[in-house]
Structure formats: C-alpha cells, structure tokens
Chains A and B, each alone.
Chain A
C-alpha cells in the first residue's frame, strides 16, 4: 500500500496534476484564539458560522496562555483510511488529503477509534464521519487566519521557516 501511495503521489499525480503537495502548517505561537478558522471551516462545509461544526479546533490552555489550532495532518499511511471497512475514505491524489465519501460512509465510527490523533469525528446530524479534506486544495482556515498561525505550504518544506530562524541565529548574527 505504501508503495502504491507513493506512486500515486510522486508519479501518477505529478504526471496528471503538475502541482506540489501542500500541508496545513500550524504555528501556535501566532494563534490569538479568534476562531476565524473554525468559522471559515464550518462556513465552507455547511454554509453556517458554527465552531461546533468545524474540523479544525483551537484549544485554549488558559493557565499557560497558549492557544493551539489542531486538525488532521493527512497521514500517508492513514489509520482511518486503512480501518474503514467500506472504503469510504480515499486519497485525493491532487492534494494528498484523505477524504470521506459521505455516500459510502455507514457511520460505524471504526475510523474514529483507529485515528491516534482524534481528528476524524462522528456527526450525529448526518450519521457520517467528518474530517479535514483540505477544502480541495484551498483550505478556508488558512485563508481566514489573520495572524499566519495557519498556513498552507509546500509539504516537503514545512520546517523551512524554523530552519531559517535557527540558521539566522547560528550563522547570521555578529556573535556567531
């Protein structure tokens, strides 16, 4: 399976979709807890401003003052995808997102048990599960984030900014 996914991403998708895969990149240092991302997510998927329906959640740890946005990281070997008995979760080759097909999903919730991160959840109102699907390649949360705490960047270089900051500290300061 792993080889198949690799092939899908590196060969198949590169040939048919000349786009690089991107990842949602989260920097909690920049999060203010405004919840624009949660509203953008629910609006994109349900045409309603409702953090309760959002697939990205901001956690406010008030004793430390830290706010941490959290959502699906789109694992390559996705537990949810492998666990689904009806193959309702499939790979979107263009974006790398693992996407729930609502017409196939039977609401058995096995994926919610298998996911180590808790980012796929059952929705009582629909009887299906929901998870982040990267909005088909234009994630509304990243667009709505006013501080750059959530960005959508080259999946191979999510560490670039951090590397640059350390490179600056270690090699670009007078004391270095």
Chain B
C-alpha cells in the first residue's frame, strides 16, 4: 500500500467536506502526486475552463512515498489549470506540509467551487472542516502561519497558504508552506485566491504505517540513501553550496540569460553566486549564508538559510526581515539578479523574502522585471508611469517592484499580469521571454540546446523541472552530451521528461536524480506499494503521465504552434562565450521529438500512442 487510501473532497461553494476512497486502479496507473492528481483533474474538469472561475478545481496531492523514510519523501504538488499559462499547472513543494497531510491519513484534497467569504481548511487527522478566514485575509503567508499556530494552540501545525499575491490574483502567485517552501509556478496561488481559500492547516499524528514490505523497504531506502551520500552532487555540492553552485558554472559556459536574454553571460555573476553567499560581507563582516536546511525526510539538504545585512538600504528599520530565512536558491538568484542585471546580493534576497512572504514565484516575477527594464531601456515605459528609474541593474527598482507587485499597487498591478500580457499591452510581445505565457528559468537555450526543446515542449510552459537536461549537457549526468549540439536531444528530452514525471508522482524530490535513475526509484516504490512497480512499469507510467498532460493542453487549445521559443532565441545569436554565434536549433529538434513521442506533425497524440499508453 503506502497510499493512505483516502481523499478529501471540499466543495467551497456548498461549504462541505467529504471523505472518499482513493481510486486504486488509477493509483496503480499514475502512482500519486503529480500523475494521480492530474488524472483526477483531467477526468473532472473541462479543458476549456477559465482558470480563475468557480468551475475550475485545485488539488493538493501527496505521493505514496510522501511521509516515509525514503530520502526526500516530503513532497506534494498543487494541480490545477494555470492562469498564467492556460495549460495544466502542477507545482511541487517540499518543506514539511506534504508529509503532515499524508500522516493525517489523506492522499489528496480536491477543492471545487468557490467560497463566498474567505475560509481556511483545518485538518486534524480524520477531522476536517472549513473555518472563517476573514481575520487572515489581507495578511501575508508569514502572518497567516503564525496566527494559525496560535489560534490552534499548536506550534506543530503545518500551513500551506497564500499571501497578498494570491489574494490579488497575481498571475504568478505561489502557494507557500513552512514559511519559505513554495508550489511556485504557473499561478496556482491565484487559483487558490480566486476561491477565497486562504490556507490549509494540517496536523497529522497517525503516520504512515502500511508499507507493503517494511523489511525490504528499510533495506532498499538505506541503500539508496548511501548512493545520495556518496555522490559528488547530492553528497557534497548541493549540501555545501545549494543549487547556487550553478551560478558561476552556467555563467562560464555562456548560458546565463542576462538583461532579458540580451546577453548570455553576466559580469556580476560572481557577486550573486554561492561563493559570494559564503564570503563575509565588507559591510558587517558576516556571511550572508547561515546554514543549509533539509525538507522533510531529505538526506541531501540543499536548502539555503540566510541573513540580510541589517544596514542594507532594503531592510533598514525593518526588523521583520533581519532573521534567518529561506534563500537564495539558484533560480531566484538568477531571475531577480542576472535577468535584470542586478548584482546586489542583499537586494536579491530582500526581493526573494518578499516573494516568500506574500507568495509570488520569484522566477516569473524577476523575469517580468527584466522585460519591464527592457521596455524602459527602449523608452516605451517611462519613469513617471513606473514610479522609479528602472534601468537595467537597479537594485532600487527591483526592491520597489517587489514591494508593489503582490499588493497590486500602482504599476505593480501590470507586473502581476506577467511578461506576456505586459509586453503585449505595450506592443512588444516578442520581448516576453516565455513559452505558453510562463517565463524562462535560468538557462539560455542557445548555450544549452536541450533546454530549448525542454522549454518549448514543457506541459506547464517554460520550466526547467520538466526535463533537466542541464544534468547531461553540463554536468555529465548520467552521460555527458554536447550542450551546443542538437543531435540526440529529442531522445534525451523525452527520457528526462518521462523519468521526471515518475519521480514527481512518487512523492520524492527530483534532485535525487543527480544520483538516482528510475532503476533506483522502482525498487523503493515496489517495496512500499507492491511488486508490480517494476522499472519497466514505472517508466511507462512516466510516459503515460506526460501524454495525459499533453492531451489536456491540446484539448485546452494548444497546438504545435505553441511549442516554440521567443524570436530572440531563434534569431539573435549568442554574443559571447562557447555558444557565440548560435541560436536555438529548436526547428531541427521538434519534428524528431514529435516522431519519437508518437505524435502527429501537429503535436497531437496518434491513436496508437493513446492505446499503447492506455489513455
């Protein structure tokens, strides 16, 4: 087993909370978390639904390995249709909340409809109920967590909530748990806000006690933890430097998108790198980085916990930002920094804290600021309109925009629409560095060719967490491929996409895949859930999930025309570095990718693909 076997269905319109058995047939076909929640979602919701309407649903889901001693078994996902993209949205988070839900005895929570007034859901093992949240509305994620812990007289209650960004339906609003872990992308927080749902407070004391073969499970998970421990990336690089270990590496290979992708290397990269975080500051002699932190069950512990310089202009007289808190991770450091040409580490962490505090995706927020700064540079946006001098590199502008965006004040309201809508409004849609409306993460697809195909075909819009071919093209995991070549990339991207879907669905963290393959995942699933989870079956499930998501997007109206990149990446060659003179070779890769996927030239699933995968 290892699934709790129960889901909670909450109708926000009617104010009802009901328990129902988990569909075990689907559980075996889609594992859990991302796969299983998406199966429920696509079966229950019309693909054409308006993401912010009451007809949309939103699901919080754990996997069968969530809440177990398998390393990194603390993940959960939030599945819905994303308002930023109009595509399937599936945002994954760590921290402790997911394991708490599982230990309360629930695999997932499905929210339907919308509440007339702000509410929150409280779960204490079997007992779940909706409660009035009018006193929480208008407050940040941090205040919400603190208030709920006091209200419930329980410091161990875990909270997943939205801040002002979600309430104000910022299209890249995140759902945040445990103060600084986030289901960050595609605007899942705005869907939560649209339903007047402020928070889910969970206390789970029952635990997970239905492992299929406990003896085998303890043995295999211990063996797999040792692999993580002995691996250079998961055993040393990530715990010591965090994901920020990449800043200098990606900059050196000329794939660090800079100033809205005008450049592929950032002269200030070293100032915002992992090494900078670990070096005492000139101002107060203290290091930015305080310690690393694990999520629930994680034996890697890549998380960064930092403290700001109290004298920095962003936090003077603001003691609420002086304590240790989450960040900077690589993606946030890139989006808030290199993407805007800002090399002020303290300002980046300040903006990052505001993203955590008010529930915003720092990638889409930062990248949207990059577009704003380019429009300003071109003279299309003016200082009077923005409220500040927004030249590339301005830490003041970054901090100011972070303050006004979640609150929806002034120009912040337009930033909160994301770069696609904002640039279109000002007549320059080509300046939105996004796919399907979602902004790129921190890898330039001219310097890492596989990432171009990854972005173009990602089911939730531009994203690195759908097939992290950087592992192969830059780090040589599992095999080294040439980042500048397009040959073999369609096969590589497909393999990464399918494997990642299986890892996400199990409840584990995909960072394990720096050391593990599906052959390491399958025996852990088999020991926990049953011997039918062979390597072959787990791989097939990954492919099934990918195609299910794709099929939903096709029904939502996406076609092969949407599997593309901004003109800049296809026509403006990289100016410097190893990729100098290169553009993305997406047009060479895409037809081959469709072919090996078993899709038509228009990117639709062929009937034989559908039947092969049981869709």
Known: A40-B69, A46-B209, A52-B207. 5 other contacts (CB 8 A): A32-B293, A34-B297, A36-B69, A48-B206, A62-B323
Please report the number of residue pairs spanning A and B whose Cβ atoms sit closer than 8 angstroms.
85
Q: Kindly identify which residue among B156, B207, B225, B301 contacts A50, using a CB–CB cutoff of 8 Å.
A: B207
> Does B68 touch A at the CB level, under 8 Å?
yes
Q: Which residues of B contact A144 (CB under 8 A)?
A: 69
> In residues 291-326 of chain B, which contact A (Cβ within 8 Å)?
291-299, 301, 305, 307, 323-325
Q: Does A34 lie within 8 Å of B301, measured CB to CB?
A: yes
Verify B305–A65 contact, CB threshold 8 A.
yes
Interface size on A, residues (CB 8 A): 26
B301 touches A39 (CB 8 A): no
B67 within 8 Å of A by Cβ? Answer: yes
Tell me if B's interface is mostly helix, strand, loop or mixed.
Answer: loop
Contact B297 A35 (CB under 8 A): yes
Q: Does B9 contact A (CB under 8 A)?
A: no
Whether the Cβ atoms of B179 and A48 lie closer than 8 Å is: no
Q: Which of A49, A64, A67 touches B208 (beta carbons < 8 Å)? A: A49
A171 to B217, CA, bound (A): 47
Tell me if A43 is interfacial: C-beta within 8 Å of chain B.
yes
Top 5 A-B pairs ranked by shortest CB distance?
A50-B207, A48-B209, A63-B323, A65-B324, A52-B205
Check: A33 CB closer than 8 A to any chain B CB. yes
B229 proximal to A (CB < 8 A) = yes
- Judged by a CB distance under 8 angstroms, whether B103 is at the interface is yes
Q: Does A104 count as interface, using CB distance less than 8 angstroms?
A: no
> How big is the B interface, by class?
35 or more
Residues on B with C-beta less than 8 A from A64 are 290, 323-324
Given A64-B324, A146-B229, CB of A32 within 8 Å of CB of B292: yes
Interface centre among B214, B297, B307 (most CB of A within 10 A): B297
- Distance of A70 from chain B, by nearest CB (Å): 14
Does A53 have its Cβ within 8 Å of any Cβ on chain B? Answer: yes
Contacts of A40 in B (CB 8 A): 69
Assess the B69–A34 pair: CB atoms within 8 A: no
Interface string of B13-44 (1 = CB under 8 A from A): 00000000000000000000000000000000
Interfacial chain A residues near B294, Cβ < 8 Å: 32-34
B206-227 residues at the A interface, CB under 8 angstroms: 206-209, 214, 218, 225
B204 CB–A CB distance under 8 Å: yes
A–B complex contacts, Cβ < 8 Å, 21 sampled:
A33-B293, A33-B294, A36-B297, A39-B297, A47-B209, A48-B208, A49-B68, A49-B103, A49-B208, A52-B103, A52-B156, A52-B206, A53-B207, A63-B324, A64-B290, A65-B290, A65-B293, A65-B305, A66-B291, A67-B293, A146-B299
Known: A32-B293, A33-B293, A147-B301. A53 touches B205 (CB 8 A): yes
Find chain A residues with CB under 8 A from B291 CB.
65-66
The proximity string for A residues 21-34 relative to B, scoring 1 for CB distances below 8 Å and 0 otherwise, is 00000000000111
Q: Which residues of B contact A47 (CB under 8 A)?
A: 209, 214
Docked CA distance A67–B295 (Å): 12
Cβ–Cβ < 8 Å partners of B296 in chain A = 34-35
Q: Which of B239, B296, B307 has the most CB of A within 10 A?
A: B296
CB-nearest residue of chain B to A53? B207
- Decide: A62 and B301 in contact? CB cutoff 8 A: no
Check A34 against B207 for contact (C-beta < 8 Å). Answer: no
Q: Given the complex, which residues of A lie within 8 Å of B207, measured CB to CB?
A: 42, 46, 48-53
A42 contacts across to B, CB distance below 8 A: 207
Give bound CA distance, A47 to B305, whole Å: 33
For residue A153, give the distance in angstroms from its CB to the closest CB of chain B: 20
Q: Which residues of chain A come closer than 8 Å to B290, judged between CB atoms? A: 64-65
- Give the distance in Å from the alpha carbon of A146 to the alpha carbon of B295 in the complex: 13
Residues of chain B contacted by A51 (CB below 8 angstroms): 103, 207
**B71, B218, B324: the one within 8 Å of A62 (CB):** B324
